[in-house]
Copies of this chain bind each other. A is one copy, B any other.
Amino acid sequence: MAKIQLTSEENENLWITPFVAQLTDDCRDFHEDFQSNSVTSFTHYASFIRRQQSSDKHLLNPFYAFLHLCSDIYLSSGRNIQTGAFIGRRILRTLKSIEISSGQSALREFLYLFCHNNLSLHDYFLTNLRNYFPKVSDPEKSFFRMINKVSIKYARTNRKLETYVGDHLQQIENALHIDSFNKNKKSLTIINRDEELLISAMNYSVTAGGKRLRPLLMMMISDLFNLELKSILPLACGLEYLHTSSLILDDLPAQDNSDLRRGRPTLHKTSINNDIPENLFEGRAQLTAVDLIAISMRLINHGLVQNGFSSQRVNQVVDEISLSMHDLCIGQMMDLRAAHMGIEKENELVDELDHIAWFKTGKALEIVLVTPAILAISSSTVNNQSIDLNKIRELGRLMGILFQMRDDLLDIEGENIGKPIAIDIKNNTVTYVSILGIEGTRQRLKEFRQKTLNLINECWPSNAGTIKDVVNYIVDRKH
């Protein structure tokens, strides 16, 4: 399902043949199975749709899977005409057999159930394609173009998070590595040495692992807006650098004073292969954080234009990022103040925690969601009217709050996320759990999850399964 770039190596596709056969059978026998209460992927999905539950859970549409696999086989053959005719006949015969065995209304119902979120595909099958039923040995090219486009987009935007990570994480990790900017100026050996002290520190912190949730989320949004992933890589990396920069600063003694980050010494607590003495550790960490901002600005500003986005859009993206940085500073200031000075009692405590989570975590999510949307507005690949930036911003806020509530629960439940357990409690910080209790926090988490999933449905009706999976991951994660 997840393979987008296809090779002509037919062997690679041998494994899918049994699936296609099974799906073909289940598709053809759908009505019979449904009446006899047999559970197949088709009947399961159909009863799911009938119960109108598509909003809160993400279930694979087996008909799209079937079409995608067919399309995959055709493309893998190098668009071989005989393979195409064979596959086309199979799809047409499958649909035709529904009409033959159960009548025309059965086919109509089938298409209603399995193409409910894609009107153009539904209409294509119902009107254009049925004309080909008499001459199934001659499928036309536009037929494959249609099912290919639909099924690939469906496959891209509804992968499970785990699959998505498998497909893209390496691409992100590779792109994140930072090289010298001055390395071509051979004469400047003095500069090279000091630049190297900063670049190795940047790479130490940038490659410290982490889930890369932000760049992955940005890619998911880009998929939904039909942006080419390669073209937005500078933005994905740049925002990850800004995130890393903020972590380096947060960890400093004057702020959160953390010695460890993801199980490794924080940058102000370490040299890299003994490159500097201990009295330079913290100074280097501070400079590295600022340098990451510089490198990030350069990469985003220069890289996006190089990748073909207009200066106007890039300008708007840089605008968004600078406002977001400002808000993140406010968020960290809130957090520092709350930790050291306490939260004033007269304020609505949960509201204040929501504000902190919004500014400290939500803003960093909002920016990866909203910037690809801004870039997409200019491109012709998307209907501009359909992008509501405010809804996307709200999505970032909700995800930030979900994140923080789950973190607070995890602290209590004693799971380790790379920093000493329950540090927030030790420091006497007010948390969701300390105000709402464990059960109260769990209940609120559940409500906010539903709210978030509903919002995703509003933004991308039934088409953003992977992002829903991210929301579920945030809420259900164990560390």
**A307: interface (CB < 8 Å):** no
**A334: interface (CB < 8 Å):** yes
Given A284-B336, A319-B302, A336-B280, the answer on whether A297 and B294 have CB atoms closer than 8 Å is no
**A286: interface (CB < 8 Å):** yes
Contact in complex: B198, A330 (CB < 8 Å):
yes
Option from B246, B281, B310, B337 in Cβ contact (under 8 Å) with A194 = B337
**A229: interface (CB < 8 Å):** no
Contact in complex: A326, B276 (CB < 8 Å):
no
CA distance in complex: A279, B336 (Å): 10
**A191: interface (CB < 8 Å):** yes
Which residues of chain A (260-307) have a CB below 8 Å from chain B? 268, 276-277, 279-291, 293-295, 297-298, 301-302, 305
**A59: interface (CB < 8 Å):** no
* A181 contact set on B, CB distance < 8 A: 323, 326
Q: Which residue of B lies closest to A351 (CB)?
A: B190
Contact in complex: A276, B341 (CB < 8 Å):
yes
Contact in complex: B337, A291 (CB < 8 Å):
no
Chain A 296-329 near chain B by CB (<8 Å), digits 1 or 0: 0110011001000011101100110111011001
Given contacts A198-B329, A287-B329, A294-B322, 18 further A-B contacts (CB under 8 A): A181-B326, A191-B330, A191-B355, A191-B359, A246-B290, A252-B286, A254-B285, A254-B286, A276-B337, A276-B341, A280-B337, A280-B341, A290-B325, A293-B293, A294-B329, A298-B322, A301-B318, A302-B319
Give the number of times this chain occurs in the complex, counting copies.
Answer: 2
Of residues A188, A289, A291, which shows the largest number of chain B Cβ atoms within 10 Å of its Cβ?
A291
CA distance in complex: A352, B191 (Å): 9
**A340: interface (CB < 8 Å):** yes
Contact in complex: B293, A347 (CB < 8 Å):
no
Which residues of chain A (197-213) have a CB below 8 Å from chain B? 197-198
Q: Which residue of B lies closest to A310 (CB)?
A: B311
Contact in complex: A355, B302 (CB < 8 Å):
no
**A56: interface (CB < 8 Å):** no
**A218: interface (CB < 8 Å):** no
Q: Which residue of B lies closest to A279 (CB)?
A: B340
CA distance in complex: A190, B348 (Å): 10
**A255: interface (CB < 8 Å):** yes
Given A329-B198, A333-B198, the answer on whether A277 and B322 have CB atoms closer than 8 Å is no
Q: Which residue of B lies closest to A347 (CB)?
A: B190
Contact in complex: B254, A282 (CB < 8 Å):
yes
**A249: interface (CB < 8 Å):** yes
* A33 contact set on B, CB distance < 8 A: none
**A195: interface (CB < 8 Å):** yes
Chain A 44-65 near chain B by CB (<8 Å), digits 1 or 0: 0000000000000000000000
**A332: interface (CB < 8 Å):** yes
